[in-house]
Amino acid sequence: MKLTLTHLLILLFFFGFVVTSSSCDDDKGPGTDLPPIDSTVKTLKDITNYPVGAALSMSKLKNTTIYRNVVKAEFNTITAENAMKMVNLSPSMSQYKWDDADYLMNFAEENNMRIHGHCLVWHNSVPTWVTNYGGDKEAWKKLLRNYITTVVGRYKGRIASWDVVNEALLDNGTPRPTIWLTKIGWEYVSLAFQYAHEADPDAVLFYNDYGQEYSKVKLAAINDTVMNLVKRGVPIHGIGLQMHTNINQSAQNMIDAITATAQTGLIVHVSELDIALNRDKKPEYQVSPADLTTQKSRYRSIAAAMRQLPAAQNWGITTWGVGDSDSWLKSNPDFPLLFDTQYKPKMCYYGFHEAFGVN
């Protein structure tokens, strides 16, 4: 066939179109709303009978379109991985930095998602100005009250729930030595819940910790400690199980952690779920099909255990990141999340589908 000028122009037009439209698929920022995955696959929020979500990175949410699209398609609850921690919200005395937290709040509201606030009091997120603070016990209580009242008050009626105190117990069940314990005493835990409750009486307040699946001692210590506080009238409504776990942990231990926590009668949240493959952090670790199969099976067990809980007690599952390249464990190296580095669903994603009998 002889190529005429018209043919050439048509060809050029199509070539240009293909190049431009495929370049829209990269992740230069929000704008395109292409479905992130095969649209015949039912998304997580569609199949679960409880909220399902992820901890979000602000830079990825702002700059990576595919990330944003996966979050919108798959999840109905979100948590700030870091943006609502004290070091980020309160960099210096009497100064607050709300930009990222506000951005997340607006994103959640635009997309009809719930926000789970994380976290008000945590020994690993204490700003330098607080560490250096010289006041007496009463002044420290006032500092804690001001901080909690300001943060919870700002989002009153908008943030559904808060991790009020995070990781206050050691594995042997005794109080973790933290600056709050030193300056205020164990009473800091009750006070934090009381202040949060006063600032937003409708917010659901959690005690959040890790280790329930690997230590029966810690599991019992967390539940007993929280129930003692509840009996004394401290406004704690739920217990968060972080569940940073790995494929070498037995499914039964994971299930026991969830069911024993539910037996307190409080609300249960699997709050920071990731299932590591490379528990021993071997630099040379290579992913194997067998490990991915175990990972899927563990996700299925947790998703199924949560399915058994009554709705009133079920705050759902939050994974600690979206794709493997977001994970706080990625440099171990590890691949503990539901989506791969390209945000494609991994084998373990379908563990949720199996738990709900969905193909």
Question: Of 138, 272, 284, 354, which residue is the catalytic one?
Answer: 272
Site for ligand XIL contains 100 (CB under 6 A):
no
Residue 49 C-beta: closest distance to ligand XIL, Å: 26
User: Which residue number, 43 or 318, has a Cβ lying nearer to ligand XIL?
Assistant: 318
Q: Which residue is nearest to ligand XIL (CB)?
A: 328
Site for ligand XIL contains 242 (CB under 6 A):
yes
User: Which residue number, 43 or 319, has a Cβ lying nearer to ligand XIL?
Assistant: 319
**For residues 338 and 299, is the Cβ–Cβ distance under 8 A?**
yes
User: Which residue number, 257 or 355, has a Cβ lying nearer to ligand XIL?
Assistant: 257
Among 328, 340, 347, 350, binds ligand XIL (CB under 6 A): 328
Give the span between the Cα atoms of 84 and 81, in whole angstroms: 8
Site for ligand XIL contains 285 (CB under 6 A):
no
**334: closest CA among 209, 245, 224, 240?**
245
Residue 275 C-beta: closest distance to ligand XIL, Å: 14
Q: Is 167 a catalytic residue?
A: yes
Site for ligand XIL contains 278 (CB under 6 A):
no
User: Which residue number, 72 or 85, has a Cβ lying nearer to ligand XIL?
Assistant: 85
Q: Is 138 a catalytic residue?
A: no
305 alpha-carbon distance from chain centroid: 18
Site for ligand XIL contains 166 (CB under 6 A):
yes
User: Three-state DSSP class for 46?
Assistant: helix
Taking CB atoms within 8 Å and a gap of at least 24, the contacts of 216-221 are 216/256, 217/171, 217/172, 217/173, 218/169, 218/171, 218/172, 218/173, 219/256, 219/257, 219/260, 219/261, 220/173, 220/260, 221/169, 221/172, 221/173
Among 81, 200, 213, 291, binds ligand XIL (CB under 6 A): 81
Among 272, 274, 291, 334, binds ligand XIL (CB under 6 A): 272
Among 82, 150, 249, 253, binds ligand XIL (CB under 6 A): 82
Q: How many binding residues for ligand XIL (CB under 6 A)?
A: 6
Q: DSSP string of 147-210? A: HHHHHHHHTTTTS-EEEEEES-B-TTSSBP--HHHHHH-THHHHHHHHHHHHH-TTSEEEEEES
- Per CB under 6 A, contacts with ligand XIL among 197-216 are none
User: Which residue number, 194 or 242, has a Cβ lying nearer to ligand XIL?
Assistant: 242
Burial tier of 284 (Cβ tally within 10 Å: 0-12, 13-18, 19+): exposed
Q: Is the peptide bond before 127 cis (omega within 30 degrees of 0)?
A: no
Residue 242 C-beta: closest distance to ligand XIL, Å: 6
- Catalytic machinery residues: 167, 272
Which residues bind to ligand XIL, rule: CB under 6 A? Answer: 81-82, 166, 242, 272, 328
